[in-house]
Structure 1
Amino acid sequence: MPRRRELGRSDTVEGDSGDEPDYTVRAVERVCSILNLLQESIDGVSLIEVGQATELPKSSAFRYLWTLEAHRYVERTEDTGLYRLGLGFVGMQSRHLEVLRERARPWLERLRDEFDESTHLGILDGDRVIYVDIVHSRNRIRLASARGERDPLHSTALGKAVASRLSDTRVRELLGRTGMGALTDRTITSVEAFLDELARVRASGYAVDDEENECGARCVAAALPGTRLPAALGIGAPSTRLGPGDVERIAARLKEVSRQVSADPVPEQRGPAELG
């Protein structure tokens, strides 16, 4: 005779009452609450805030976060101790991301050597652009972005290039969530002005951050065509070395390389010396 499953407190049996059956699991609900809280945050949330949102004691909230962090769905910022969404959600297509990174890496190195400036691979992560890979310039004075760092869409070349692959409706939604704070006196702070900028990016095939994210820094980026993830390649440098007259030349090379990255086989089949 089959054993009868014992019912938990949240279980009901159809026909026992007129209420709809409740199949919710409290632990899963708490995980969803944590993830929703992180999704809505721009700068990250503290352990105390997670505990308050989930009605969990601090020690229990920490165990939830620790488990999610172990699976890369949450990451903790070392300097602030705040928690934010991790690459695990991009990891829903994690193999595709890894292949993309493997394809892009030799090209990032090659571009760094060609221009002697830092090169980046970025993707859309929630409502910001995240640096998936970086090859730093060998110059002592250089842009100091870090892998895993997240930047706004509206003020960065990578952000603009990634946003150019989205619909205007989606862009409005993301900007409405994050706001458009002025990081320098050149930052675009109007949604309509930003959409006009995206129209130029789509027409030209490249985006420019002209000291809009950081004074004294200029970046150029091009979206990767034909990928499942909104992604882009970029080159950034102090504006004293990357002047307005250099933008077209760098952009042309980035567009060429972006097309090649999308078309390349997995790098194990080719070495950097074979790359055209």
Structure 2
Amino acid sequence: MPRRRNQGQDENAEETPATGEERDYTVRAVERVCSILNLLQNSIDGVSLIEVGQATELPKSSAFRYLWTLEAHRYVERDEHTGLYRLGLGFVGMQSRHLEVLRERARPWLEELRDEFEETTNLGILDGDHVIYVDIVESRHKVRSASSRGDRDPLHSTALGKAIASQLPDARVRDLLQRTGMERHSDNTITSIDAYMDELAKVRRLGYALDNGENAPDGRCIAAPLLGTHLPAAVSISAPAARFTLKDVEKAAKKLLDVADQLTTNPVTDQQLDEAPA
């Protein structure tokens, strides 16, 4: 009677190739995804559907399905005006070292802003469809903004959200707003997508964003985007509206824009990335 092998022996036998047979554990679909992402990573302006098909040796219909799936998971985004594809915001979480370097570089500037204006200063980044506070330097006043590091706020009602959104494609902004809705937090909250897009045009013209009691009735905040960081980030000054008047905002905006410029003038070096915590 032949000896019976157990299930584990059978599985090992199946996984072990015959003598002289070359092992190949690659998965073709995964290889194609990697090819697409590598192509997008090396492109500045974006790539077309035809270029993706050529790089992956896929027909247009199949290439589109790959791109559609990646877009659904936010790893790819499509510009509705040009039809070109770029890497999406899903990779932000994978840029943790870049973010840590930015946080370390921003900290002294946030402290300087806090000391000069005696109000809370913040560094925020887009995380999915909300803004997350990466760092906060609190005002020394007893009455001050109450956000904490790691808190999440809406895109539509905050100065940080507006500043970051001003640097995104309009189609992407509309998609984010439709996904989350535009909940009213005060009488001043913008709840119309078209009105919000008009507000972004103003932000782009001025260079900074204002939350004038839109996220909280008694709050006021200004924010400036951090351009050239490859991260959807911004810095802000926030305070109770009674203490941080519109005249104070005009004065603080100039300094805030200067700080944002200082933070993004010098690119992150490979050494800084190597020294940053993993």
- The normalised TM-score by structure 1 is 0.65
Quote the Cα distance in structure 1 between the aligned partners of 2:267 and 2:207.
23
Gaps of 5+ in 1: 8-20, 25-87, 270-276
Contact 2:98/2:268 (<8 A) preserved: no
- Classify 1:99/1:200 alpha carbon distance in 2 versus 1 (closer, same or farther; 3 Å): same
Matching of residues 193-272 of structure 1 within 5 Å: 193-264=195-266
Quote the Cα distance in structure 1 between the aligned partners of 2:14 and 2:126.
45
Q: Deviations over 1:191-231 (max 9, x none)?
A: 00000000000000000000000011000000011111110
2:181 maps to which of 169, 179, 182: 179
Contact 1:103/1:266 (<8 A) preserved: no
Contact 1:175/1:191 (<8 A) preserved: yes
Contact 2:220/2:240 (<8 A) preserved: yes
Contact 1:155/1:212 (<8 A) preserved: yes
Aligned to 1:124: 126
TM-align CA RMSD? 2.5
2:167 maps to which of 165, 168, 173: 165
Quote the Cα distance in structure 1 between the aligned partners of 2:104 and 2:243.
29
Contact 2:218/2:240 (<8 A) preserved: yes
Q: Is the partner of 1:209 in helix, strand or coil?
A: strand
Contact 2:226/2:232 (<8 A) preserved: yes
- The normalised TM-score by structure 2 is 0.64
Matching of residues 4-153 of structure 1 within 5 Å: 4-6=13-15, 90-153=92-155
Quote the Cα distance in structure 1 between the aligned partners of 2:129 and 2:251.
30
- Classify 1:264/1:105 alpha carbon distance in 2 versus 1 (closer, same or farther; 3 Å): farther
Q: Deviations over 1:118-147 (max 9, x none)?
A: 000001000011100000000000001010
Q: How many residues align?
A: 190
Displacement of 1:262 in angstroms is 1.0
Q: Deviations over 1:93-152 (max 9, x none)?
A: 111101110110000001000000000000100001110000000000000101010100
Which letter maps to 2:13? R
Displacement of 1:264 in angstroms is 4.3
Q: Is the partner of 1:97 in helix, strand or coil?
A: helix
Contact 1:108/1:119 (<8 A) preserved: yes
Quote the Cα distance in structure 2 between the aligned partners of 1:231 and 1:207.
13
Contact 1:218/1:238 (<8 A) preserved: yes
- Please list every run of at least 4 consecutive aligned residues from structure 1 whose deviation after the TM superposition is greater than 6 angstroms: none
Displacement of 1:91 in angstroms is 3.3
Which letter maps to 1:177? R
Contact 1:164/1:201 (<8 A) preserved: yes
Aligned residues with identical type, % of pairs: 63
Displacement of 1:245 in angstroms is 1.0
Q: Deviations over 1:28-85 (max 9, x none)?
A: xxxxxxxxxxxxxxxxxxxxxxxxxxxxxxxxxxxxxxxxxxxxxxxxxxxxxxxxxx
Which letter maps to 1:96? H
Contact 2:186/2:217 (<8 A) preserved: yes
Which letter maps to 2:193? V
Quote the Cα distance in structure 1 between the aligned partners of 2:193 and 2:267.
38
Gaps of 5+ in 2: 1-11, 17-26, 31-89, 272-278
Contact 1:121/1:231 (<8 A) preserved: yes
